[in-house]
Amino acid sequence: EIPKLQWAQVFDKCGEPLQYKQISVPIPESDEVLVKIKYSGVCHTDLHAWKGDWPLGVKTPLVGGHEGALCPGQRADEQLCAKQALSGYTVNGSFQQYAIANAMHVARIPPECKDLAAVAPILCAGLTVYKALKQSRVIPGQTVAITGAGGGLGSLACQYAKAMGLEVLAIDTSEEKRDLCINKLGATSFIDFATTKDIVADVKAATGGLGPHAVIVVAASEKPFAQAAEYVRPHGTVVCVGLPHGARASADVFTMVTKMINICGSYVGNRAETQEALDFFKKGKIGAPIQIRSLQDLPLVYKEIEEMKIAGRVVLEVPE
Ligand code: 8ID
Ligand code: ZN
């Protein structure tokens, strides 16, 4: 029995308070499905949407969220749609009990994936970093630096990189994130960007003087995009993934030319890659820890993300 009303986190305009309130359950069109949401990861993108950080209009009022693990009879997920209908951005997302998804774009979660809370972050964060690692063209045995390694995308990037046979150099801040990266995510070394005196020198020193073969920049701040071009190894690749407000990825032309480095962007992934990313999870190779909170706690979670206090990913439990 589908109710008429449901609980959701809504904001009327960017930056205005989030309201946990009852709204109507949406009615799907013929090419859509209505899905019941069990868990939704909180991605930094949701915070960017609420703050209006990007040069892309946010639909308002908005129900945010796009890392939903859903339950429409069989397990499915709504994915960022290729037609610019961005869940939790230009259309209502997963911070509600019942969401609409395009029937063509729901990704089937393999039945072996029993832990729906843990699988939710794979559907944006996991997919995104898996694709970024592919784009980096590194091969097993090489070293990849992950900047923002202690956050949501970063913690999954460490795990995917390990599963692909790469050595991981983690960059982030705080003792909690150091412990997470080294002891739970399998990074070989950790550099604290907030306390290091010379990040370029430290990264090079940690990689035998040459620098990592690739850098995956998932940090939600501008500085590391420029730093990565300086410490990446000659012929290396910098993959830009984080989307900080108004940021530029700058590189010194002389350095870029003489080191023959490659700087590129990577944006989520397609449906086939979603299945590939889920496959790693299904095989038990991705064990990045999650913190489960309730849908009501979203405002506090945003505050903690902003303050860089969350190690790993928060997943919200949506009421039955
Ligand atoms: O498809 C895409 N390209 C895509 C998909 C999903 C998310 C891009 N994103 C973007 C988000 O919009 C956001 O801008 O990736 C960024 C990271 O998302 P997230 O992992 O969900 O954010 P988080 O959990 O807050 O983690 C960010 C980490 O970066 C660290 C923080 O400490 C945190 O752990 N960090 C920051 I902020 N500044 C740093 C710096 N200077 C830094 N780490 C290293 N150096
Ligand atoms: Zn996301």
In sequence order, what DSSP letters do the residues of 34-99 get, joined into one string? EEEEEEEE--HHHHHHHHT-SSSPPPSSEE---EEEE-SSS-EEE---TTS--BTTTB--SSBSEE
- Note the pLDDT of residue 227: 97
Q: Which CATH architecture has domain 126-265?
A: 3-Layer(aba) Sandwich (3.40)
pLDDT for 252: 94
Residue 280 clears pLDDT 60, i.e. is over it: yes
**pLDDT reading at 40 higher than 80:** yes
Ligand 1: residue whose CA is nearest its atom 22? 44
Lining ligand 1 with CB less than 6 A are 43-45, 48, 124, 128, 147-148, 150-154, 171-173, 193, 218-221, 223-224, 241-244, 266-268, 305, 308, 310
Q: Which of 42, 45, 133 to mutate to test the pocket of ligand 1 (most atoms within 8 A of CB)?
A: 45
Give the CA distances from residue 94 to residues 38, 208, 212, 216, in Å, rounded to whole numbers and listed in that order.
9, 44, 37, 27
- Residue 222 CA to ligand 1 center (angstroms) comes to 10
Q: pLDDT class for 68, splitting at 50, 70, 90? A: confident
Please state, in angstroms and rounded to a whole number, the distance separating the CA atoms of residues 295 and 318: 5
In CATH, the architecture of 5-124+269-317 is: Alpha-Beta Complex (3.90)
Q: Which two tokens stand for residue 275?
A: 């299945």
Q: Do domains 5-124+269-317 and 126-265 have the same CATH topology?
A: no
Q: pLDDT, tens digit, for every residue of 69-126?
A: 765 433 445 444 445 678 899 999 999 999 998 888 788 889 899 899 999 999 999 9
Residue 305 CA, ligand 1 centroid: distance in Å: 9
What residue spans define the domains of the chain?
A: 5-124+269-317, 126-265
40 alpha carbon to ligand 2 midpoint, in Å? 11
Distance CA 196, CA 138 (A): 26
Axis crossing angle, helix 125-135 with helix 152-163, rounded to the nearest 10? 50
| pLDDT digits 0-9 by tens, 138-192 | 999 999 999 999 999 999 999 999 999 999 999 999 999 999 999 999 999 999 9
- The pTM of the full predicted model, rounded to 2 decimals, is 0.96
pLDDT given for residue 71 in this prediction: 52
Mean pLDDT of 235-239: 98
Token readout for 276 is: 């590939």
Query: How confident is the model at residue 144, as a pLDDT?
Result: 98
